[in-house]
């Protein structure tokens, strides 16, 4: 059985689509198909001459007639549906003919043990619904992020209560062998040599367990060059398959499972060995391995739908934990150098204390403040926008605690044996910092409930029934929570909708809701009621990070991590009424030890200190003024952190914060009348470009 795990953050990444193709391809399109090896999803690397991409692997399965399972999280599905309809049609065709089983990865796909039961259940369930909506069908197999499972209530109950989950994919070395003594074989298993190469049922959850074979996972990608060229499987795996075929009496009902990251087998991997050549060779090795298997009819490739559990489930086991050996080679049987039973706990300890110098919170506090707000939001406001808030938060958890620690063997030591846990991954930092935007959707859900029944024709600015209702929102008084999230207001101010230091301006009537941010004086979210249904017209929870990847012109820089504290503009993340020139950000330096180019690399610092002054003109009009100050400095991370702290301190004491404006002053007005939103500029920094009439 082949199970490929495909997860993707909801981001575009590229500043511009890659011009090496006609028409140019976005990051998501390159990740799906990069047949000319121009970039794929392993940017800034010499890709070589061999193409990569998820579609190439999927096409190999189709060409060889091998049925397989492929998990999809919400990020990759959303990007596919929006950016690559041709690929989507190919996937739907494979699903319809039964060769591809869409498999559950969850909405964002996160490490379940670190989050609440309801959060876990929702991300699983929304992941199922996304697959059904986009691909038309979803199987009943769940692949946890990092295949990390613990027998604790917030995990087991979420799996039991999620509709449709029947199978759980875990690892044989860390999930079966530590609990081998707990097995209770079925009455039909006499004479069978029982190990991880069978379907077992977990006694705690009732789920059927699909154990990945370590040797199959590792050696499908490590055949010699000669074996690849001859279309052969790794010699050790050929011997293994011959052994099972020759011992059918003691190995009847056996099932060997290959489970691997779809990125790795497709040549798209970010997190494996340095350099792209390894990834590309792995794709070729995987393809030759599949060709050998397809050429031998005595090997049957199958899917979960073909399993006869009455005869092929050999018994029960009390599996208390499992984890990918890549993340923790020993699982529960070993401790790392930090004394952790699970090495991911060392990552989590580092993640939970990582500070935001502007918000005055750690990443754990930022995440929990949003998670508990969603869980505690009154049921009266559980409408479509509430669902959007839950999905937005779920997307932000994609690999939330991922660390910059290198995986694999380094200096002869694995991750358990090395004391080199680093700060969280930049993309993980940025995602959690911006998870706060889910609060905008929660607050908008209050507006939607009011608007659905209100007959008041008035327009409100920073006041009115919605703002007043938000003052009463409180966290539940649950004793196990920290004091910060127990029986306290969810919002410190009803005008700080995105939970940061800069206030929002909220302009609304019963038909339209406009959410503006002081930073840039722009509209970050726009909602409307259509036929009594609330809709988000503008505003996205996709990732802010971007990459200017144009090495031919010497333009390679990243924008990610803690430089994204405020609601900022980036080249792949714009807004209504966004003054692009004034919001352009600056370049600086940032430490990046794993860059391969030294400790400091060029980094884009977006317009964090771009506050406009807000003046109410009428109840339906607000004016935003840009005042000249000084240009932003050439940033280093230390200098940037110092200014974050300075800005926070000033705002807490009622003083004007840090502002860097180098252009002449101007202002703009935003007016809401009924369903019409008007943006005008009474005083401009420079003349507007004139367009011919009618254009």
Q: What is the pLDDT of residues 323-363, one digit of tens each?
A: 999 999 999 999 999 999 999 999 999 999 999 999 999 99
| pTM score | 0.92
Both tokens assigned to 464: 């009115």
Beta-sheet strand order (sheet of 504-508): 460-461, 504-508, 512-517, 522-530, 533-538
Model pLDDT for residues 624-645, shown as the tens digit of each residue: 999 999 999 999 999 999 999 9
Closest-CA residue to 682 (of 631, 583, 615): 615
Q: What is the structure's pLDDT at 591?
A: 77
Q: Which two tokens stand for residue 196?
A: 């991880």
Q: What does DSSP assign to residue 674?
A: T
Quote the percentage of the chain above a pLDDT of 90.
Answer: 75
CATH 3.20.110.20 region(s) of the chain? 2-322
The tokens describing 296, both together, are 């031998």
Domain 2-322 fold is 7-stranded beta/alpha barrel (3.20.110)
pLDDT per residue over 444-485, tens digit each? Answer: 999 999 999 999 999 999 999 999 999 999 999 999 999 999
The pLDDT of residue 694 is above 60: no
The confidence band for 42, taking pLDDT boundaries of 50, 70 and 90, is: low
């Amino acid at each position: 059985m082949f199970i490929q795990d495909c997860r993707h953050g909801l981001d575009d990444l590229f500043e511009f689509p890659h011009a090496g193709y006609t028409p140019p391809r976005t990051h998501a399109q390159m990740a799906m198909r990069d047949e000319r090896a121009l970039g794929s999803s392993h940017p800034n690397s010499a890709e070589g001459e061999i193409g990569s991409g998820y579609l190439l692997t999927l096409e190999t399965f189709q060409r060889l007639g091998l049925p397989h399972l492929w998990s999809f999280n919400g990020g990759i599905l959303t990007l596919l549906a929006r950016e690559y309809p041709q690929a989507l049609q190919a996937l739907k065709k494979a699903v319809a003919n039964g060769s591809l089983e869409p498999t559950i990865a969850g909405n964002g796909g996160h490490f379940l043990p670190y989050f609440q039961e309801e959060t876990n259940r929702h991300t699983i369930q929304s992941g199922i619904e996304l697959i059904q909506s986009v691909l038309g069908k979803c199987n009943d197999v769940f692949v946890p992020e990092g295949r990390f499972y613990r027998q604790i209530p917030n995990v087991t109950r979420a799996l039991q209560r999620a509709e449709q989950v029947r199978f759980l994919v875990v690892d044989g070395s860390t999930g079966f062998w530590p609990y081998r003594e707990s097995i209770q074989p079925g009455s039909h298993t006499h004479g069978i040599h029982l190990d991880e190469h069978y379907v077992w049922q977990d006694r705690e959850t009732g789920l059927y367990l699909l154990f990945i074979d370590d040797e199959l996972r590792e050696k499908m990608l490590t055949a010699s060059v000669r074996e690849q060229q001859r279309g052969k499987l790794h010699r050790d795996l050929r011997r293994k398959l011959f052994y099972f075929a020759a011992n059918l009496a003691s190995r009847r009902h056996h099932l060997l499972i290959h489970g691997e990251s779809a990125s790795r087998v497709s040549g798209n991997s970010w997190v494996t060995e340095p350099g792209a050549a390894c990834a590309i060779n792995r794709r070729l090795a995987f393809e030759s391995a599949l060709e050998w298997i397809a050429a031998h009819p005595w090997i049957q490739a199958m899917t979960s739908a073909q399993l006869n559990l009455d005869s092929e489930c050999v018994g029960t086991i009390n599996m208390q934990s499992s984890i990918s050996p890549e993340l923790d080679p020993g699982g529960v049987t070993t401790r790392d150098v930090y004394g952790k039973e699970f090495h991911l706990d060392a990552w989590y300890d580092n993640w939970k204390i990582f500070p935001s110098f502007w918000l005055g919170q750690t990443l754990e506090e930022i995440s929990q403040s949003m998670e508990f707000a969603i869980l505690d939001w009154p049921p009266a406001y559980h409408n479509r926008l509430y669902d959007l808030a839950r999905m937005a938060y779920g997307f932000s958890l994609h690999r939330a605690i991922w660390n910059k620690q290198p995986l694999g063997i380094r200096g002869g030591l694995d991750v358990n044996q090395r004391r080199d846990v680093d700060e969280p991954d930049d993309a993980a930092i940025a995602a959690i910092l911006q998870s706060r935007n889910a609060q905008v959707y929660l607050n908008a859900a209050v507006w939607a409930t009011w608007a659905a029944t209100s007959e008041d024709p008035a327009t409100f600015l920073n006041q009115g029934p919605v703002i007043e209702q938000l003052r009463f929102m409180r966290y539940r008084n649950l004793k196990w929570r920290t004091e910060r999230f127990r029986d306290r207001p969810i919002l410190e101010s009803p005008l700080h909708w995105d939970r940061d230091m800069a206030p929002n301006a909220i302009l609304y009537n019963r038909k339209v809701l406009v959410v503006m941010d002081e930073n840039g004086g722009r509209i970050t979210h726009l909602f409307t009621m259509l036929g009594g249904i609330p809709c988000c017209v503008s505003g996205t929870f996709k990732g802010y990070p971007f990459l200017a990847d144009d090495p031919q012109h010497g333009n390679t820089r990243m924008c990610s991590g803690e430089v994204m504290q405020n609601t900022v503009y980036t080249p792949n993340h714009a807004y209504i009424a966004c003054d692009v020139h004034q919001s352009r950000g600056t370049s600086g330096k940032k430490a990046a030890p794993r860059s391969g180019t030294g400790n400091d690399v060029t980094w884009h610092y977006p317009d964090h200190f771009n506050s406009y002054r807000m003046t109410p003109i009428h109840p339906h009009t607000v004016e935003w003024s840009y005042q000249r100050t000084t240009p932003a400095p050439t940033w280093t991370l230390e200098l940037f952190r110092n200014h974050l702290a300075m800005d926070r301190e000033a705002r807490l004491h009622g003083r004007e914060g840090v502002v860097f404006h180098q252009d002449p002053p101007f202002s703009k007005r935003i007016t809401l009348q009924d369903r019409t939103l008007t943006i005008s500029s009474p005083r401009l920094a420079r003349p507007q470009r004139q367009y011919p009439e009618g254009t």
